[in-house]
Structure formats: C-alpha cells, structure tokens
Amino acid sequence: MLAADSAAAKPNERGRTAANTTEDDSDPAEPATDSAATDSAATDKSADVKWFTDYKRALKKAKQLKRPLLIEFAATWCVPCRIMEKKVWTDDAVQNALKKDVVPLRIDMDAKHAPPLIEKFKVEFVPTILIINDEEEELIREGFVNAEDFLKMVRKSSKKSSETLP
C-alpha cells in the first residue's frame, strides 16, 4: 500500500501523509505497519485515522463493516478545514468515532475526481461533512463543527441508520 521510500512520509500540500489516506480496500482503522507511516503517526495525531480518498472503495468498505460513510469535502485553501484538521480530527473521542463508528472519506474539492461527487451530493461550501448510509442516502449534513458537535452527528447518524434497517 505505501512506498517504503522516504517520499511516503513527506506531507502533500494539505499537510497529509500517505499514512492517513488510503486508496485500497484495507480496513482504515488498521494501524500502519510501514516504518515511514509509523514515524509520521508519532508526530501527527491526525495520522491515527486513515481516510479513504476513493468514493467507491470507501462505500464498499462501509457496506462490509455495516457502518455509515462519513464524507468530508474540504480544500487546501479552506481555513475552516485547516482548523477542523487541527482541532477536531485530532480529538481523542473523534479519533475513536472515526475508527469505530464510521468509514471516513476525504474529498479534496480541487481534485480531478471531485466534481461528480460535488454535484451528486450538492456541495455548495467547504467544509461540508456528510454522513450517508449504505444506500447512499444522506443521514446528516453539516458545515464546520467542533469535536462535541461532530460526536453528536455520529450518534444521531447511528440512530437514523439503525432505524432504516429491516
């Protein structure tokens, strides 16, 4: 999954490393085993959770795990997105929820694959945080949230998701 060379630990323009995004079908909650990823995780708490970047793979994993899919639409130029990255996604309780209650997917609004998803989910601003069920039905939609409000979102989506089960 990750290259063993030193480039794997270098952050991209969003300050993300290969350790906290994934394009494969592995469980995003599994800890990284690559030494570069482990080093990155030790210095960047947001690296604890692996975010999918591919919608189809994330949805497939959410269906396999019977969890809602959390989609964060963000951009490199979005100041509130950077604040969430530092203050919300690194919170211990949020980290736990991201690992155990949802499958996290991050969509960079400026990426080539983003426009169809932006249109599909009618995203008008960043950050936009969506939680959808395995039928791709929207359960919750929010903009910028703090850690406490994010955890409320997850609890509310779990309740809504369980209400739709047969």
**Domains of the chain, earliest start first:** 49-163 (3.40.30.10)
Candidate list 81, 88, 97, 154, residue with the active-site label: 81
31 is catalytic: no
What's the pLDDT at 47? 56
Could you tell me the pTM of the whole model? 0.73
pLDDT digits (tens, 9 = 90+) for 148-158: 999 999 999 98
40 token code pair: 């990155």
Nearest-10 crossing angle of helices 92-100, 147-163? 20
Candidate list 19, 78, 109, 132, residue with the active-site label: 78
What's the pLDDT at 71? 98
118 is catalytic: no
pLDDT digits (tens, 9 = 90+) for 20-37: 444 444 444 433 333 333
Q: Which residues pair with 107 in a beta bridge?
A: 73
